[in-house]
Structure formats: C-alpha cells, structure tokens
Amino acid sequence: MLGLEFESVERIGDTYRGFVVGKVLERAKHPNADRLSVCTVDVGKDVLSIVCGAQNIAAGQKVVVGLVGATVPKNQHDPDGNPFVLARANIRGVESSGMICSEFELGLGKDAEGILVLEEGARVGESFASYLGREDTVYDIEITPNRPDWLSHIGVAREIGILVRRLPKLPSVRLREGSTPIRRHLSVSVEDTKNCPRFAARMIRGVRIGPSPVWMQNALRNAGLRPRNNVVDITNYVMLECGHPMHAFDYALLRGGQIIVRQVNKETPFSTLDGKEHRLPPGTVMVCDAEREISIAGVMGGANSEIGGTTVDVVLEAAYWNPSSIRRTARALGIASDASQRFERGADPNGVAFALDRGAQLVAELAGGTVLKGAIDIYPRKISPRLVPLRPERVNHVLGTTLKKEQIFRYLRLLDIRPAGKRKGQTVFRIPTYRVDVEREIDLIEEVARVHGYNNIEEKTSATVDFAHPFPKSSTTDVVRTALIGSGFHEVITNSMQDASRAALGGAEPVSILNPQSQDMAMLRTSLVPGMLDVVARNLSFGSSNLRLFELGHVFSIDHSSKPKLVADYLEEERVCVLTTGVAGLRHWSTPAQPLDFFGAKGEMESLMTKIALDKWRFISYSTSNGLTGNTLTIEIHGSYAGYLGQINEEILKRFGIEQQVFVAELLVSSLGGVRTRKYEPLPRYPKVRRDVSFFVDDAVSVGRLEQVISEATGELLQAVELFDLYQGEGVEKGRKSVAFSLELMSREKTLTESEIEAAVQRVAEKVESTFGATLRRVK
C-alpha cells in the first residue's frame, strides 16, 4: 500500500525449532559399541536418553539438543549436507530420543567431530533460537531505484510511521569527548569538492579490537552481513541503521596523520579489502594519506589501512559523494558494494554528522577508547533542502479527492515535509535532503496519495458514446500486428540492448551504451533477428519446435549517410521481423509432417502483403552480406528497398544452439506506409475463364519479371497469374527453361467472347516473345 514490496518473510527462529539447551547429567559407555556413549540429558521438561558418538562430551556440559521431530540443518553423513528430520531410533540395541548436535549440524561452523558446548550461563530448557538471540523476523524488501532512503531501518521506519500516523524516534546520540582536539593528530583536505561535497572524520584512541556483542552479530547476520570485529561491525551496523556508509581506518597506518581526497592522474594498482587487485583508471576519486591511496571513495576500502587485531587508534570517516562519480567508478572496476549501492543512488548530505556521531558513540561503548574532541567536517557549500510548490486544488484534481488544505498539510508533515512559505500564491514545501525522489509538484501529490491511502480514493468512472466522429485510422503497426496475429503468429518482445558480438550480426555499425549495466547489454541492437533467435533457442529447450513469431521494434546504428535522423550520425529505424521454423502448416495424423522450406516462408510473406492490402511489391534475388542469412530475397515495395527474406546461415544457428532450419523476414515499417484502405467490391456477375500458356525462355529470366510482363499485356482482364510448371532437362535447349503459367481472365462488364479471350492470350504471347526472346510452346 505504501510502495514497499515485501519479497519474502523469514522467521529466523524457525531454523532451530525443536532445538533446546540441555545439560548432560551422566555419560556412560554404550554396551555394544566402543565409540558410542549413552547420555542422560536434562532438557527442562524431561530427561532424555541419547546415544552420542562425539568424543568431547562430558557430564555437566550445557549442549544443544535436537528433539524428536526437529529438522537438523545439515547432515554430516550426507555428501551434500542435506537437512533431515530427527526420529526416535534404536542404535545398537539402545533407544535414543534425540540428538546432541555439533556446530556443523547446526549450520554454525565447520567442526563436525565434536558437539557444540555452550557457556555455563545457558538456561536448561531454553530454546536454542532464544539462546542465540535469533528469534527475529526478517523482511526482504524490494527497493526501487528512486528511493535510496529505504536502504536503512530508519528509512523503512519512516514509511511504517505513515500507517501508524507517527514520526519515528531516532536513536539517541550522547557522545562523551575527551579534552584532546582531533586536529592535533589528524588533518583532512578535499581537493575534489565536486565529487566530494562533504567529508567528515572523528578519531577514537585506545580502542580494543575484539568480537562485537552477540546482539550486533545477530543483527548483521540477519541482514546478510558477516561479522568481523567490533569496529568494522559498528560501521556496517550504522550503515544499515542510518543508510549512510562509513569507513574505519587504522590511524597507525595513515602516513603523516593526513587524509586527502583527490583523483588519481594515471592508471594505479590498488588492493581492496576483499583481497582483489584492481587497476584504477585515471580520474578515479580516492581517499589518500600523505603518501598513497587508502580507499576507493564511496566504494571499498584498501587492505593497506584496514582495522586489525593490533589496531589501537581508529579514524572514522563519513562523507557525501557525487552519485555519478560513484556509479562510474563502481562500473569501471566491477565492484558492487553495500556502500556504492547507497552512494550511487543518492545518500543524505545532511545525514553525515548524525551517522558519524552514532558510529563514534558505539565504538566508545563497545570497543572502549576516548573520542577526541570535535570533528573535522569539510562542507564548503552546504546542500540545502529542495523547495517544491504545491496547490491543494491540484491535489484534488489529480487524485479525484475532496481533501482539505489542512488535511493535505498534515499528511505531508508525517513525511517530515513542512511548509516553508509562499511563492506566487502557492505554498512552498521544504523537502528533506534524504528524499532525492521528490522534485516536482506531481511528486508531492503522489506522496499525499500514499499517506491518504490508495484504497481510500474513490473510483469514479464515466463513459460516453460519440457518434459525431468516425473511428480513428489504424496505424501501420496496428494493421501489421493484426494481420500477423490473424495468421497464427505470436508477438515477442526482446531486449534492445545486446552484447557486442550479437549487435555486430546485423551488419551495421552498432551504437555503444555509456555506463552499461553489464557487457551483455553494452550495445544497441542493429537487427531484430539475434534477439528472436534467443527466443527460438529458449523455446526449443522447452520442446517447442514449431514456431511462428514476430516482433515490432526499433533498431539503431551509426550511419553517416544522408538518411533523415533525429541525432546526427545515429540512425533509428522501426522494423518488423517475421520468423518461422518447424513444420509447414498444421500437423495431422492423416498426413506426414513436412518441414517448412524457403518457398513456404516466401508464401507467408506474400500472404502478409495481401492481408495488409499492399500493392506494387515484389521479391528480387539478392546476395546478402549481413552474415545472418543465405538464400536471400530482397523485398521491394513501390520501387524502394523494404527489407529481406532469407534462411538463417548454419554457423549462426550453431552459435545459438539451434539445430533446425529458421527463416526470417525483416522489413522497415516505414516502407509499409503505403497500406491502402481496404475496398470491398460486389461478387462478380460474369464467369471467369482459364488459359494455360507455356514458353521457352533463357535461364536468366526470372519468373517475377515474366509475371509482370504478362500482367501488363492483359490489363484489367487478368484476375490472377500462377506459375504451375518449370522444367529444365531433356528436350529443352541448354541455357533455356520451360515455364508454364495459368491465366485467370474475367470482365466485370460482360461475358468474354472466345475472340476476346484469344486476343488477350495473343497479346501475352507477343509481349513475352518480344521482351525476352521467348518461344511460345503451347496455349491450352
């Protein structure tokens, strides 16, 4: 209802349902097995007899007991470690009513030899989940890219506050500082204020590095992070709590006691905390000390200044980084960290101080040490809250509500969005800097709708019938789509972004994408065919081998010709791609299945042209160089190139893992702009007559050209011409062929006489003979 989509809900305690803290009262040797023991275990409400094979078990220990019916997370006797359900068992003649578990079986470590021994303070009978402090419920939330403030518990709490009509209560920060000023030990300078508008630091001396408290470790684990040590865990905890990433440096490793923010001016090697080596491109923004780089700004820290077991003095850093700089650096280096995820979407520049003080407070409380007096905060140009005007009447007009001005203002105050004055008769609202998504009046209206509740907005519908205006004309794409769907084709939609190798298959020079999400989407497609071949391959893998598909979409290329373009040298065209593969026609038990061939694919295109009422189109034999198809025909409409029809080459099919013939046609949608309004005529009143004519002609003469000449010779009398025979071989002169056509003749004004029919056929014979040097073979 608020826009937060919950992907899943996980109750952490469910993992250990049926596991309790037990106390071993007695251990005795198994009577029938040397390596087994029979233990008497107190589990609170009962005393159980359990057979155990661990050698480190002893009376008086507090242990984890799995009761009958519990699901053990890992089976150490299964190669894959699959879980299993505990049952009462008879082991070598002794009944066992449960299981004393190792840390491996509980999914808490790698030790599978010995049982997990708990501390003395563990309460007998307590659930193991309660003992671990892991009874939380974890909600996995899908965060939209425009709401970086949701990447924190405080941000989500603000949203829940909308439902309960309360603002969240932030953690209390009470920082006790020492008397020594921080500037006595540390200096900070920012050379690149464009990419680092704000940089702040605090220093804590005399810390003790060790494990963080169990409650913090559990919180981090539940959020998907691995605990490391108290100081590092605190920076991660504050990031999850406040949404503002921080970084901790070992002060002893900061050379010169300096921090400098600058760009590297040449390619630089750098080792990050995850142990990986990177080559930093020139222009990468870095946090440096007096001599070297120590952290990739807003992305990941360096191994040369990390917190370790010998760390005594800690420098905490919290900054606000230019989102585009972080995005560019993370993509260039292939790093996607929790910090970069937040900074590249837009952190809160005015939340730096709170996050820094919160982190310093927790370090002092959980790791000891003294917080030096003051903070170094480089913030030369303060980023002020955005001011956005809002008209209450506009809110009601857009939402269809009747909200009063006071009610609208009250809703926005729940989001900490407050009035800041008037501008041109409109109330101006101050937007918190953590709300990077609210920029315009319509954004504020959307916030009002969320707080009011979408379910509380009344649905009002109305309908009118307008007889004064005709139906609008269908667009070319609508006509083509309707015709193809009517012919049994299925529409597909594929990604317009492809990898470089697929984009190059179209034959044109592809357009590169700046800052692509991945190398698989680094180029814009130059043809619809590669994407459709991916669809074919996927369908074949699911057993669907007879496919009739089409796609209407745009292709892009770098083009230096004089073709009209919206942007110089970048050509964008809308195309339709028609693909067929598998058997021809519908399969039936009475006839064997016939694989689709080139002529069948050509017939599909002829049918399409006829359905969309195109005229003056023809196929021309054409030798393609695009590398995609062979046996290719050019499709020409009104004397201009419109596209091609061809069979996908075998090497291309192998590349996509396709093992059957595929036929495609790709047409420019603009070339189909000659779609005519379909005209309906009355049924003919006069009979049709059929005459067959055959000729000897040279091999080079195409059937299409012959049909064109026959049509010109007969004029309006010709209703249809069909090739029904083509022969070369014995009885036909070498270099010649025999072609036979069936002519369908009819007049819409009268019944044709025999003399008129013969005259029409004679005109055909004379025209073909004079045009092609043909010899009339027969008229029937």
How many CA atoms, within 13 angstroms, populate the side-chain half-sphere of residue 536?
32
Q: Which of 73-82, 461-470, 518-527, 530-539 has the lowest mean pLDDT?
A: 461-470
Residue 622 pLDDT greater than 60, yes or no: no
Multiple choice CATH, 11-132, 1.10.10.10, 3.30.1360.120, 2.40.50.140, 2.40.10.500: 2.40.50.140
How many CA atoms, within 13 angstroms, populate the side-chain half-sphere of residue 747?
9
CATH class of 177-378: alpha beta
Q: Give how far Cα 441 sits from Cα of 160, 393, 422, 458, Å.
A: 23, 12, 14, 22
Multiple choice CATH, 476-674, 3.30.930.10, 3.40.50.1100, 3.40.50.9100, 3.40.50.720: 3.30.930.10
Q: Which of 258-262, 651-655, 673-677 has the lowest mean pLDDT?
A: 673-677
Confidence of residue 585 (pLDDT cuts 50, 70, 90): low
Share of the chain above pLDDT 90, in %: 58
N-term to C-term CA, the chain = 78
Claim: this prediction has a pTM higher than 0.85: no
Find the mean pLDDT for residues 176-204: 96
Share of the chain above pLDDT 70, in %: 96
Confidence of residue 93 (pLDDT cuts 50, 70, 90): very high
Q: What is the pLDDT of residue 351?
A: 95
Confidence of residue 623 (pLDDT cuts 50, 70, 90): low
pLDDT tens, residue by residue, 41-56: 999 989 999 999 999 9
Instruction: Extract the tokens encoding 40.
Output: 């008497």
pLDDT tens, residue by residue, 266-281: 999 999 998 899 999 9
More confident residue, 558 or 424: 558
Sequence-distant (6+) residues with CB within 8 A of 295 are 247, 249, 286, 287, 301, 302, 305, 317
According to CATH, the topology of domain 388-456 is: Phenylalanyl-tRNA Synthetase; Chain B, domain 1 (3.30.56)
Residue 73 pLDDT greater than 60, yes or no: yes
Q: What is the pLDDT of residue 681?
A: 73
Q: What is the pLDDT of residue 677?
A: 56
Q: What is the pLDDT of residue 676?
A: 54
Please work out, in degrees rounded to the nearest 5, the angle formed at the alpha carbon of residue 723 by the alpha carbons of 677 and 700: 105
Domain boundaries, the chain: 11-132, 177-378, 388-456, 476-674, 689-779
**361 — phi, psi (to 5°)?**
-60, -45
pLDDT tens, residue by residue, 131-158: 888 888 899 998 888 899 999 999 999 9
Sequence-distant (6+) residues with CB within 8 A of 607 are 487
Residue 634 pLDDT greater than 60, yes or no: yes
Residue 473 pLDDT greater than 70, yes or no: no
pLDDT tens, residue by residue, 385-419: 999 999 999 999 999 999 999 999 999 999 999 99
Find the mean pLDDT for residues 458-468: 73
CATH superfamily of 689-779: Ferrodoxin-fold anticodon-binding domain (3.30.70.380)
